[in-house]
Amino acid sequence: MSVYTHLSDDQFADFCQMFGVSFVKAIPITQGIKNSNWFIQTKEDEEGSYSYVFTLFEERPPEDIAKMATILNRLKDTLPVAAPLPKVDAMTEGSSPYVINYDNKAITLVPCLSGEHPKQISPAMCHSMGQALATLHNVLQSLIPAEDYGVPLYPWDKVRDREIQFMPADEAKLMADIWHGYEQLPLDILPKGLCHLDLFADNTLWDLQNSNEELTGLLDFTEVSVEHYVMDIAITINDFCTTWGDANDGESVNFNTEKMQSFLRGYQSKRTLTKAEQQALPTMLAMAATTFWLLRLNVIYYNREQGRTGDSIMVKNPDLMKRLAAYHWAEVEKLLHNQQIVYVLEHARYKDNNINNHIENYKLIGVFATKDEAQEIIEQLMTKPGFQDYPNGFNIDAYPIGQINWSSGFGDA
């Protein structure tokens, strides 16, 4: 059941008319768990066919839906998205041209997209998804400031702190190690912007008839946020490049590096990754899987807390994402241990006591394979506030990989 607010045919007709659509019939859509959804048949449609989807957003505030509608209308000329129709009448001051407010809830009307959710993913489809995601990142750079259009990121660190208390020791260590590795990345210089952050295969539609593999729809833009592009890349790669087994084969998790390389070639045909992004990607793949591991644990937590039970409650297995996170982290550790020397870049923070400048503490910027890479990061950071005032505060130290103590500092060298 996905209709929580019931509307009369007269209400549907009035709302559709506000979008310039001639209403005939509304057919409830049974999929979905958060919103009320209907297919809309118009006077131009044949019996049994529908041109639009009418959505009444039950939980998200209208201002969030207005942001999403603006994003989709910015993308509609370059990507296959269902952009909300504009209202016929000129908007009143302060209201969205794409959203009707009804009973403190948002209503949108969007065109139906053709296609189907894919059951199998080919390398060619990964290449197309890479191109699509890069295009999304490029186009949304025109919405500025980006923070005015994205919703706040979810506080996954709080979920981590709650869940890690109840994990077996090996799982808690895995999560802590991945999180620590993520925090060691040069996050200050990784490019950021508006990101989808949930482009799994079930949020896409494809024309797969007659051996076609054409992308026909990108769905679910309700969680668009400002985040590092490489995180969005990692989230999408993790689903498109992993074959998820079912219960019959023990719910196997098989990551395919050929598909990942195809995705990256597609992405870089539209937007070139920086060197820092390329180096951060292995850790980001582990962190992205960890985030969705936590997301699924969070769903279980709130279902239990709110007493939601029964066959209608769908919960995805968090263990699958845990195993994917473990796979990626093992690859990161191989990379680290294959390097004989690493270069640790720090920046000294200073405190002015009107007499002299004293070092207050060191901020770890990142760990790099070569000194030149660390120097390149310094040159980029020198253009940013907070670093310009103390140009001599940077420090690069070389350590044998075996002498780094991740828990207490940077070792014996």
Per-residue b/e over 311-348, b at no fewer than 16 CB within 10 Å?
Answer: eeeeeeebebbbbbbbbbbebbeeebeeeeebbbbbbb
- The whole-number pLDDT of residue 403 equals 58
Q: Which pLDDT belongs to residue 190?
A: 96
Residues facing 362 on adjacent strands = 348
Residues 203 and 349 in one domain: no
- Whether 266 is in a domain gets the answer yes
Model's pTM, two decimal places? 0.79
Q: In the listed set 50, 81, 111, which residue is the last one of a domain according to the structure? A: 111
Show which of 307, 336, 365 is a domain's final residue: 336
- Residue closest to 178 by CA, chosen among 27, 320, 313, 326: 326
Candidate from 20-24, 49-53, 58-62 with smallest mean pLDDT: 58-62
Looking at the fold, whether 100 and 127 belong to one and the same domain comes out as no
The total of structural domains in the chain comes to 3
Tell me the C-alpha distance between 30 and 36, whole Å: 9
Q: Are 170 and 105 in the same domain?
A: no
Looking at the fold, whether 397 and 326 belong to one and the same domain comes out as no
Looking at 54, 79, 111, which one is the last position of a domain? 111
For residue 33, what pLDDT is reported?
A: 60
CB neighbours of 351 closer than 8 A, spacing ≥ 6? 357, 358, 359, 360
Tell me, yes or no, whether 206 and 153 share the same domain. Answer: yes
Residues 130 and 229 grouped into a single domain? yes
**Whether the predicted pLDDT of 278 surpasses 90:** yes
Task: For residue 102, give the CATH number of its domain.
Answer: 3.30.200.20
Shared-domain flag, residues 287 and 165: yes
pLDDT in tens, 221-266: 988 999 999 999 999 999 999 998 876 666 789 999 999 999 999 9
Average pLDDT taken over every residue of the chain: 87
Q: Are residues 235 and 313 in the same domain?
A: yes
Grade residue 412 by pLDDT with cuts at 50, 70 and 90.
very low
User: Which residue do the tokens 């209201």 mark?
Assistant: 95
Instruction: Dihedral sign for Cα 125, 127, 129, 132, please.
Output: negative
In a domain, 369, yes or no: yes
CB distance 5 to 58 below 8 Å: yes
Q: Which domain holds residue 39?
A: 9-111
> 186: domain CATH number?
3.90.1200.10
Pair (68, 139) in one structural domain: no
Shared domain for 176 and 288, answered yes or no, is: yes
